[in-house]
Amino acid sequence: MLASKKVCVVLPAYNAARTLARTVAEIPRDIVDDIILTDDASGDETLALARRMGLHAIAHEINRGYGGNQKTCYRAALARGADIVVMLHPDYQYTPKLVTAMASMIASEQFDAVLGSRILGTGALTGGMPRYKYLANRALTLVENILLGQKISEYHTGYRAWSRAVLEKLPLLACSDDFVFDNQMLAQALYFGFRVGEISCPTKYFAEASSIDFRRSVVYGLGVLRTAAQFRLQRAGLARTVLFSDGEKVRLAPLLERVA
């Protein structure tokens, strides 16, 4: 716990058997109260390994996609009483050693969400990020900062921490089940006025780390631009979209186990 707040780490997993043990070994158990892994119908031993390690493991019988996986993770965290939820990829691309720092920024009540930025400092290229991805990251972030009225260093990191209030408020059921989920969720947090902080985070690109290919990167980039445009149009009162709606029907309900 931190400041009497229950800290939960969620691991949205897909074929992560080769890196799961390394990731979990570095999660700071002195402050983390709960670890939840959702296996998105992996073809390897991810689920069996998670259960042997004593993690709270949830299985998708069919693949629901990266965003669909996170929805299950967050619903489970809410049901299990989490006050602070850190989303960490189990592919060991991001260091688990920053969980304490990220959770502390929320426990201090200075921020509602925290991003582990690969762009602050020199972590991205030093860690092996392909140059085309780095340049696309910088270009998309520039456009988003203009349209969303922010000064965030990176919108595309997969390392994020959220307060319970954020997870209960955002219309996450309106978000995609694909990779653009991350970007939509962050845009929603900004739209509803939550305070977003950042921390410099090194990253590692290696064979076992997950990464989307060029085609899916293009699809993701187009989704990011669409999300930013929707944000700006709704803020200007020129259009309305369910992505930035406010109602119980598009919010996550706590997960009462069994996932089909």
State the CATH number of the domain containing residue 189: 3.90.550.10
The residue behind tokens 């954020």 is: 166
Would residue 259 count as lying in a domain?
no
Q: How confident is the model at residue 185 (pLDDT cuts 50, 70, 90)?
A: very high
Q: Flag whether pLDDT at 213 surpasses 80.
A: no
Residue 147: the pLDDT is: 98
Would residue 258 count as lying in a domain?
no
Label residue 25 exposed, middle or buried (CB < 10 Å: 0-12, 13-18, 19+): exposed
Residue 49: the pLDDT is: 98
Average pLDDT of the residues in 25-33: 98
Q: Where does 81-171 have alpha helices with state H?
A: 99-107, 123-126, 131-148, 164-169
Digit-coded pLDDT (tens) for 146-159 = 999 999 999 999 99
Would residue 190 count as lying in a domain?
yes
Residue 18: the pLDDT is: 96
Query: What percent of the chain lies above the pLDDT cut of 70?
Result: 95
Average pLDDT of the residues in 29-57: 98
Digit-coded pLDDT (tens) for 64-106 = 999 999 999 999 999 999 999 999 999 999 999 999 999 999 9
β-bridge pairing 196-200 and 84-87: unpaired
Would residue 83 count as lying in a domain?
yes
89 CB contacts (<8 Å, ≥6 apart)? 11, 12, 23, 158, 159, 210
Average pLDDT of the residues in 224-229: 98
Residue 191: the pLDDT is: 98
Residue 108: the pLDDT is: 97
240 CB contacts (<8 Å, ≥6 apart)? 234
Q: Flag whether pLDDT at 215 surpasses 90.
A: no
How far apart are alpha carbons 224 and 119 in whole angstroms? 18
Residue 168: the pLDDT is: 97
Q: Flag whether pLDDT at 122 surpasses 90.
A: no
Average pLDDT of the residues in 4-11: 98
DSSP states of 145-164: HHHHT---S-S--S-EEEEH
- What domain count does the chain have? 1
Would residue 70 count as lying in a domain?
yes
Would residue 102 count as lying in a domain?
yes
Would residue 1 count as lying in a domain?
no
Would residue 188 count as lying in a domain?
yes
Average pLDDT of the residues in 110-118: 96
Average pLDDT taken over every residue of the chain: 93
Residue 240 corresponds to which tokens in the numbers above?
A: 């309305």
Q: Domain range holding 165?
A: 7-250
How far apart are alpha carbons 43 and 45 in whole angstroms? 7
The most confident of 87-91, 133-137, 200-204, by mean pLDDT: 87-91
Residue 43 corresponds to which tokens in the numbers above?
A: 């073809």
